[in-house]
């Protein structure tokens, strides 16, 4: 299905449309969507003025012209007899949502920004689906959101507009014939990425006490588990078949002894500057730390249980910031 189009509009300039889109994008990405943002109803572009290279390229007949750098691109092109938005939508057909700033006359669904210092009623009369405002007493027939309630607005969009258009995600570790493959990340830019994972190992109260005292025959349980976690992080590319070997920039391992729950909670944070994330490294570090604790203590407690290993947070990459809901 083509991407959903939503216009972010307001009565006038400097009302906060750009700020709203800027805050909304990472919230939508964190929910698994692929998002684009456009400036609507623009009559000319600096990069496309007569005499500029891009103008000359399109005049010569290029279907699209633009400018590129190592990690950025800008495209322009002719659309005679067609809608510029229609052309862009066809280029961005693999995305889930396109946010368009401006164009109050559009027939797309609209979200209007209403600032009390500028207006007290919406100016949109067609296809208004929500308002974002600093007016606490505004009475309106559509849902109302505070100016900085990006999570609430993102959830609304997911539930109301995108329920028939779920994010299109393929299992990238399989090729078109269904055979396993390592994903090619060579075209991705190198960015700073971080992942944090946690897990738990449940044990008898006496076992936890001996770990705390350091009185086990095999020595410092948590010290050995910490080293094991770091070793596992560095070996993840060898342990997980389709994971990429990565130049790990940093790793932190923490243990939280919780006598009230008879458990040791394990936290692992991993950082890298690279072309793919370190979620698997963080999860592997937690897993091996828990297994090491089990190995060190199994002589006195074979009923220990490793559980609840999960990703808590990740940063960087195309999907941006994601954090597990509490």
Residues 208, 319 within the same domain: yes
Residues 201, 102 within the same domain: no
Signed CA dihedral, 45, 46, 49, 53: sign only: negative
Residues 199, 300 within the same domain: yes
**How many structural domains is the chain composed of?**
2
Q: For residue 15, is it within any domain?
A: yes
Residues 89, 209 within the same domain: no
**What is the Cα–Cα distance from 87 to 205, expressed in whole angstroms?**
65
Taking residues 158-187, report their average pLDDT: 62
Residues 37, 103 within the same domain: yes
Domain CATH for 319:
3.30.70.640
Q: For residue 56, is it within any domain?
A: yes
Q: For residue 165, is it within any domain?
A: no
Taking residues 217-237, report their average pLDDT: 92
Residues 267, 315 within the same domain: yes
The 10s digit of each residue's pLDDT in 73-90 is 777 766 665 566 666 666
Domain CATH for 154:
3.40.50.300
| pLDDT(204) > 90 | yes
Strands annotated E in the chain: 4-10, 35-39, 65-68, 73-76, 97-101, 110-114, 128-133, 144-146, 191-202, 248-258, 263-274, 305-315, 322-323
The 10s digit of each residue's pLDDT in 89-115 is 666 667 788 888 887 778 888 999 998
Highest averaged pLDDT of the listed ranges 69-78, 148-157, 159-168: 148-157
Q: How confident is the model at residue 325 (pLDDT cuts 50, 70, 90)?
A: confident
Helix (H) or strand (E) holding 314: strand 305-315
Q: For residue 187, is it within any domain?
A: no
Closest CA to 142 of 115, 164, 124, 120: 124
Residues above pLDDT 70, as percent of the chain = 83
**What is the Cα–Cα distance from 216 to 212, expressed in whole angstroms?**
10
Supply the range of the domain harboring residue 38: 4-160
Catalytic residues: 295
pLDDT score recorded for residue 255: 96
Q: For residue 86, is it within any domain?
A: yes
Residues 154, 217 within the same domain: no
Residues 97, 147 within the same domain: yes
Q: For residue 183, is it within any domain?
A: no
Residues 49, 121 within the same domain: yes
Q: For residue 171, is it within any domain?
A: no
């Amino acid at each position: 299905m083509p991407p959903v189009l939503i216009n972010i509009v307001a009565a006038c300039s400097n009302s906060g449309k750009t700020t709203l889109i800027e805050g909304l994008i990472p919230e939508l990405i964190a929910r698994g969507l692929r998002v684009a943002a456009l400036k609507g109803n623009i009559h000319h572009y600096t990069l496309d003025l007569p005499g500029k290279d891009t103008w000359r390229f399109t005049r010569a007949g290029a279907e699209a012209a633009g400018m590129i750098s190592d990690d950025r691109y800008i495209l322009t092109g002719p659309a005679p007899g067609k809608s510029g938005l229609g052309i862009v939508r066809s280029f961005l057909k693999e995305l889930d949502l396109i946010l368009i700033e401006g164009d109050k006359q559009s027939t797309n669904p609209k979200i209007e920004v209403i600032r009390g210092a500028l207006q007290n009623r919406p100016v949109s009369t067609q296809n208004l689906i929500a308002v974002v405002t600093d007016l606490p007493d505004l009475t309106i027939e559509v849902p109302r959101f505070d100016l900085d309630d990006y999570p609430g607005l993102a959830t609304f969009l997911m539930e109301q507009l995108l329920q028939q258009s779920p994010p299109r995600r393929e299992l990238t570790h399989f090729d078109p014939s269904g055979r396993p493959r390592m994903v090619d990340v060579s075209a991705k830019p190198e960015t700073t990425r971080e992942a944090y994972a946690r897990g738990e190992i449940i044990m008898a109260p006496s076992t936890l006490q001996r770990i705390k005292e350091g009185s086990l025959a095999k020595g410092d349980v948590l010290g050995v588990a910490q080293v094991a976690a770091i070793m596992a992080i560095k070996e993840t590319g060898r342990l997980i078949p389709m994971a990429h070997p990565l130049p790990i920039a940093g790793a932190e391992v923490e243990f939280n002894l919780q006598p009230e729950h008879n458990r040791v909670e394990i936290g692992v944070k991993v950082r890298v500057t690279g072309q793919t994330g370190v979620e698997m490294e963080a999860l592997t570090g937690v897993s091996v730390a828990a297994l090491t604790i089990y190995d060190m203590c199994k002589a006195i407690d074979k009923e220990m249980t490793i559980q609840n290993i999960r990703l808590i947070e990740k940063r960087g990459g195309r999907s941006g910031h994601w954090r597990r809901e509490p």
